[in-house]
C-alpha cells in the first residue's frame, strides 16, 4: 500500500489490485506515495506491501506483484543524484 512517512515520495502509475473492478479512468496515470530509498548502486527503490522494487536507471515503468498496470519511476537523479550517468 501507500505510505505517507518522511521517507515516502510520490510516483505516477496505473496500479489497480488484481481482480478489482477497473477504475473509470483506467489506463491514466495517478499519483501514489510509496516509501523509497537509494540502493547500493544508487538506484531508486520503492516499497509496496513489504516488497522493494528497483527502478530502471533512466526511469520507466515497473510492474508490481498483485497489481495490474505499473509504477512509473523517475530518472535516478531525481531521488538518488550521486553517481548519475
**What is the reported pLDDT for 33?**
92
Between CA 7 and CA 25 the distance in angstroms is 28
- Those residues whose C-beta lies under 8 Å from the C-beta of residue 52, and which sit 6 or more positions away, are 37, 45, 46
Residue 14 has pLDDT above 80, yes or no: yes
Chain length of the chain: 85
Predicted TM-score of the model (pTM)? 0.82
Residue 85 has pLDDT above 60, yes or no: no
Residue 84 has pLDDT above 60, yes or no: no
* 56 closest CA partner among 37, 30, 75, 82: 75
Say what percent of the chain tops pLDDT 90.
48
Amino acid at each position: 500500500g501507500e505510505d505517507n512517512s518522511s521517507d515516502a515520495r510520490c510516483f505516477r502509475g496505473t496500479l489497480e489490485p488484481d481482480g478489482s473492478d477497473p477504475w473509470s479512468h483506467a489506463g491514466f496515470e495517478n499519483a501514489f506515495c510509496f516509501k523509497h530509498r537509494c540502493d547500493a548502486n544508487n538506484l531508486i527503490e520503492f516499497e509496496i506491501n513489504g516488497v522493494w522494487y528497483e527502478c530502471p536507471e533512466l526511469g520507466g515503468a515497473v510492474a508490481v506483484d498483485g497489481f495490474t498496470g505499473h509504477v512509473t519511476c523517475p530518472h535516478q537523479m531525481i531521488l538518488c543524484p550521486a553517481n548519475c550517468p
